[in-house]
Amino acid sequence: MVRTAIVVCAGGPVRATLPEFDPDAIVIAADAGVHEAERLGLHVDLLVGDLDSADPAAVARVEASGGRVERHPADKDASDLELALVAAAVADARHVLVLGGDGGRLDHLLGNAFLLASPRFADLRIDAVLGAARVHVVRDERAMDGSPGELVSLFAVGGRALGVGTDGLRWRLDDDELMPGSTRGLSNEFLGSSGSVRVAKGVVLVVQPGVEG
């Protein structure tokens, strides 16, 4: 059974250091994410999307190397990244690492961030590296690496987040409430090389933009 899936999307290169991941993880490319997967030296097991942005030569290389191509119509109701996350869930993944860029259209970047926190993927532990930023979806408790003074922001997504607590951050939360649209969790900082965030109810998107405070 597949436990880890790496989903590679478009939007430019990954600029942050990649976390360690299972070498046996399934690699799923979302359309033009196939180019970033190749740049990162990842073997694509599955390529999904309408393939309007993927170079036909790259698609051919996926097929030639034993990967599978799942082509969708251009007039579809889901983004290529959403299709890739669904494929990861179908493959029985429990941890999904999304890799991609932070460039391109702002609406795509925001849509992708909200997508990661969708209740549809509540059974998945989702992390992402988007450009220089690292993103973590927290539904219970998560630990994360950082560096002293590194910025980290917390956003409630999809409703109120209750019982929010932090450890290892400059401004500590202890059984607090975060509201969607609030900037209360913006621009916190790591005190040392690690920290943690816990949530009793709701979803918090933790963003490490990759800059110092």
The 194-198 sheet, strands edge to edge:
141-145, 194-198, 161-167, 176-178
Please determine, for residue 1, whether its predicted confidence score (pLDDT) is greater than 60: no
What is the model's pLDDT at position 167?
98
Contacting residues for 86 by C-beta, under 8 A, at least 6 apart = 78
- What domains are there in the chain, each with its CATH number? 4-131 (3.40.50.10240), 141-208 (2.60.120.320)
d(CA 8, CA 101): 9
Please determine, for residue 2, whether its predicted confidence score (pLDDT) is greater than 70: no
d(CA 22, CA 45): 14
d(CA 150, CA 181): 23
Please determine, for residue 22, whether its predicted confidence score (pLDDT) is greater than 90: no
Point out which residues pair with 133 in neighbouring strands: 130
- Mean pLDDT of the region 143-169: 97
Contacting residues for 140 by C-beta, under 8 A, at least 6 apart = 198, 199
Structural tokens at position 117: 């926190």
- Mean pLDDT of the region 10-32: 91
Q: What is the pLDDT of residues 183-199, one digit of tens each?
A: 999 999 999 999 999 99
Query: Is residue 182 a contact partner of residue 106, using CB atoms and an 8 Å limit?
Result: no
Please determine, for residue 213, whether its predicted confidence score (pLDDT) is greater than 80: no
d(CA 109, CA 112): 5
For residue 130, which amino acid is it? L
Q: What is the pLDDT of residues 48-102, one digit of tens each?
A: 999 999 999 999 999 999 999 999 988 888 899 999 999 999 999 999 999 998 8
What is the model's pLDDT at position 145?
95
In the chain, which ranges are E strands? 4-8, 26-30, 46-49, 68-71, 95-100, 125-130, 133-138, 141-145, 151-156, 161-167, 176-178, 188-189, 194-198, 204-208
Give me the percent of the chain exceeding a pLDDT of 90: 83
**Taking the model in full, what pTM does it have?**
0.94
Decide the pairing of beta strands 161-167 and 194-198: antiparallel
Lowest-confidence segment of 2-11, 48-57, 137-146, 153-162 by average pLDDT: 2-11
Mean of the per-residue pLDDT values of the chain: 94
Q: What is the pLDDT of residues 104-128, one digit of tens each?
A: 788 888 888 999 999 999 999 999 9
d(CA 204, CA 135): 10
What is the model's pLDDT at position 17?
87
